[in-house]
Amino acid sequence: MTFEEEVKQIIARGPKPLDDPTYRYDAFDNGEVLHGKRRGYLPAMGWNSWNAFGSGNTEELTRQMAHQLIELELDKLGYHYLVLDDGCYYPERVDGKITNDPEKFPSGFKALADELHGMGLKFGMYNDIGTNLCAGAAVGTCGHEKTDAKCYAEWEIDFLKVDNCYYLWDNATFSDAANAKYVYTPAIRKIFLSGHDISLELSAVEDGILSGEGGIKAQQEDSVWNLGTFDGTGPDASPIGVRSAELTFRVNVSQTGKYQLTVCYANGQENGKGRWLQIAVGRGKESRLYYDAFMPETPDGTDFVLSPEIEIELKKGENLIRLMNHRRQENTLHSYDAMLEGLMEAAPDREILLSICEWGKTQPQNWGYKVGHSWRILNDITFRVGADGDPGHGAWTEDYTTSVTSQYNKCVIMDEFAGKEKGWNDPDMMMIGMEGLNETMCKTHMTMWCMMNAPLMLGMDLRRMKKGDALHKIVSNADIISLDQDALGIQAKRIYASNLEADSQERPDQAYIRENDRVDILAKPLADGSVAISFINVGMTDRAEGWSTDKERILTYIGDRMIHREAFQKAERFRVTDLWSGEVSETTGGLFAVQDLKACDNVTIKVTPIS
């Protein structure tokens, strides 16, 4: 069978059925992980090839990076993982298996793994839940999870980053809106319900209740649409709250039993209107799914037609009937789940971290913890990656996802989704050492990532760093790294943002703020009972004012997550350590202040109560 035939076959079979309620939207918040996913890890640290070399990485370059990690003593600080990103496989399967590109990686992956392990390092690789990798190679894991997992087990990998290109069930983000058919319901005009002593006609616009966010009642077209999950790839939408919409009806019946439901619908082929419908009764654990498939084709997208009768069960009294499509999230969870399952089967005793890289598209903050150890929150941090001899380009601020602040602005309010028992928000690999970021920006970039418990993946050509130079000092600041790797494992909370009005209804830890002309204050509880506080000038102008926060504000926001809350609360005196300058001082009264924050600069202190 050729590759094209195989893809056609997968498309014909469609997404996996959801027979097991474990994978459904209604189970996302049950706290359970799948296939015994190992928990308790701190964010991974290491180097990834993408920002430095794009798809031009080679075995020789990788070897040089490994030697540099040792030479620069970065391994001693925890930078252990060496991750080969896209561009290292032969462009198609050989006897059904993935294999190395013989020109770029002539020794093969097992030999490279052995070499790295011999140096005390860990070995990471890359694949994709679609049919192809982002750079094009036709070796995506889709449908090959078990086979590929066996290869990874043989190669003894320690980390797997899994991308989302060429995914068959969801590429509606970009230019071909017709792909929305999997991830949005058709437009709904009415439902008809009959059985026992009732026969009801309910209008979607008049009688339907929209729940969640984003659903649209179009009065003029007499229908409801945009029932699906928001695409989170771009920076526009907040990650907080329900990220999808449902159309619900409350229906009272006098008898428990079977009823017939008919839906008046129109299929669509555009963002917000699709063809896949889910019908459930009840919410949460008690819910039951009665329909989960494409609706029959209609001759024209704007023609409303009646569906076949769908049998549902209702209980005496009030029932909640839900029309929805959570497949965007459920399909993606399924695909990552298949990879995790493969790895757990093929290498049950090997600790392999699974790094989810679906770019925040399907709101992985809701489900990523079930299968992964971290999840990307947005599209890439740069599209101007480097090559051997070219450092590539990074930006402090850009409109799209391609800047330090674009990633930070979203990640900084996502603390409650992360944790040692769940996994970590991943604002992408670091751009320290790329062109376009000055030393101050790199320093603050490092602070942000560490305060946010992000995976710390260096993305620069390490040959451009010398021991003791400015960049080396930044990435090897052990005090700052210890914030990221603190045993308590709690991501900092933003407790103040200067451009939120004092009387604003919005909370600094939840408001999605993308206007960068501001100063943020973050607070992070630490395992030894101290608190780390960062004062961050996000904007590109110097700020001469003073900024301060106090014990009460810190306790309000993170008190419930501190381990020695009382000691902190009762303390009169605090030892204050500046984690960038190393200066130590003492303060009484519990007010913590800084003066003069230069553009893009930060002051980060560790505050320890003195008993």
Partner 1 sequence: MRQCDDQGHSDLMMKDRTKKESFAVVREMAMALCKTEDAEGAKRCGLKYGWLSREDSYAWEETLDRQRASCIVHAYLQRVSGEADEEDWQRAFVLADLLDCRRCAGHVAQIYLKGIIGAKMQIEENRFVFGMREPVTRQELTEIIARIFEPQRRLTVQTVQERETQAKVPRELVCDRKDADRLQEIYAGWMIVDVRSREEYLRWHPAGAVNYPFMTLLENPRLPGIEKGTPVLLCCDAGTRSKAVAERLTQDGWKRVAWLGFGDVRRGEEFEKYL
Distance CA 425, CA 409 (A): 12
Sheet holding 209-212, edge to edge: 209-212, 245-253, 317-324, 276-281, 288-294
Residue 521 engages partner 1 in binding (rule: CB under 8 A): no
Distance CA 36, CA 417 (A): 20
The residue from 501, 544, 560, 582 that contacts partner 1 (CB under 8 A) is: 501
- Total site size for partner 1, rule CB under 8 A: 47
Choose the stretch contacting partner 1; rule: CB under 8 A; options: 1-9, 54-62, 197-205, 462-470. Answer: 54-62
Site for partner 1 in 381-410 (CB under 8 A): 382-385, 387-390, 393, 398-400, 402
Residue 32 engages partner 1 in binding (rule: CB under 8 A): no
Of all helices (H) and strands (E), which one includes residue 333?
A: helix 327-346
Closest to 87 (Cα-Cα) out of 122, 139, 11, 20? 139
Pair 520, 575: CB distance under 8 Å: no
C-beta of 594: minimal distance to partner 1 in Å? 23
Residue 440 engages partner 1 in binding (rule: CB under 8 A): no
Look at the block and give the residue holding tokens 């409303």: 304
Residue 308 engages partner 1 in binding (rule: CB under 8 A): no
Residue 218 engages partner 1 in binding (rule: CB under 8 A): yes
> Between residues 17 and 136, which has the closer beta carbon with respect to partner 1?
136
> Between residues 100 and 278, which has the closer beta carbon with respect to partner 1?
100
Question: Alpha-carbon torsion 447, 450, 451, 455, what sign?
Answer: positive
> Between residues 87 and 489, which has the closer beta carbon with respect to partner 1?
87
φ, ψ of residue 598 in degrees (nearest 5): -70, 165
Of all helices (H) and strands (E), which one includes residue 411?
A: helix 404-411
Taking each helix axis as running N to C, give the angle between helix 327-346 and helix 145-155, from 0 to 180 degrees, rounded to the nearest 10: 40
For 551-599, what is the HEC assignment?
HHHHHHHHHHHCCCHHHHHHCCEEEEEECCCCCEEEEECCEEEEEEECC
C-beta of 399: minimal distance to partner 1 in Å? 6
> Between residues 254 and 505, which has the closer beta carbon with respect to partner 1?
505
Choose the stretch contacting partner 1; rule: CB under 8 A; options: 172-180, 254-262, 290-298, 530-538. Answer: 172-180
C-beta of 237: minimal distance to partner 1 in Å? 10
What are the angstrom distances between the C-alpha of 118 and each of 59, 67, 232, 374?
Answer: 16, 12, 40, 26
Site for partner 1 in 95-154 (CB under 8 A): 101, 103-104, 134-137
Choose the stretch contacting partner 1; rule: CB under 8 A; options: 66-74, 418-426, 468-476, 501-509. Answer: 501-509
> Between residues 271 and 440, which has the closer beta carbon with respect to partner 1?
271
C-beta of 87: minimal distance to partner 1 in Å? 7
Residue 270 engages partner 1 in binding (rule: CB under 8 A): no
Residue 548 engages partner 1 in binding (rule: CB under 8 A): no
Site for partner 1 in 224-263 (CB under 8 A): 236
Pair 100, 87: CB distance under 8 Å: no
The residue from 15, 43, 46, 54 that contacts partner 1 (CB under 8 A) is: 54
C-beta of 104: minimal distance to partner 1 in Å? 6
The residue from 511, 555, 567, 599 that contacts partner 1 (CB under 8 A) is: 511
Look at the block and give the residue holding tokens 């993606």: 332
DSSP 3-state of 500: coil
The residue from 379, 407, 477, 530 that contacts partner 1 (CB under 8 A) is: 379
Distance CA 425, CA 453 (A): 8
C-beta of 498: minimal distance to partner 1 in Å? 11
Distance CA 224, CA 401 (A): 31
**16 CB-side CA count, 13 A:** 18
Task: Name the E strands within 462-530.
Answer: 493-497, 519-525
Pair 178, 273: CB distance under 8 Å: no
The residue from 10, 42, 216, 347 that contacts partner 1 (CB under 8 A) is: 216
Residue 219 engages partner 1 in binding (rule: CB under 8 A): yes
Q: CA torsion, points 111, 116, 117, 118, in degrees to nearest 10? A: 90
C-beta of 102: minimal distance to partner 1 in Å? 10
Residue 421 engages partner 1 in binding (rule: CB under 8 A): no
C-beta of 233: minimal distance to partner 1 in Å? 8
Q: What is the DSSP track for 113-153?
A: HHHHHHTT-EEEEEEESSSS-TT--B---TTTHHHHHHHHH
Residue 222 engages partner 1 in binding (rule: CB under 8 A): no
**Number of other residues whose CB lies within 10 A of the CB of residue 344:** 18
Choose the stretch contacting partner 1; rule: CB under 8 A; options: 22-30, 152-160, 212-220, 251-259. Answer: 212-220
C-beta of 153: minimal distance to partner 1 in Å? 26
Residue 416 engages partner 1 in binding (rule: CB under 8 A): no
> Between residues 55 and 365, which has the closer beta carbon with respect to partner 1?
55
Residue 62 engages partner 1 in binding (rule: CB under 8 A): no
Q: Which residues bind partner 1 (CB under 8 A)?
A: 54-56, 86-87, 91, 101, 103-104, 134-137, 165, 173-175, 216, 218-220, 236, 379-380, 382-385, 387-390, 393, 398-400, 402, 499-501, 504, 506, 511-515
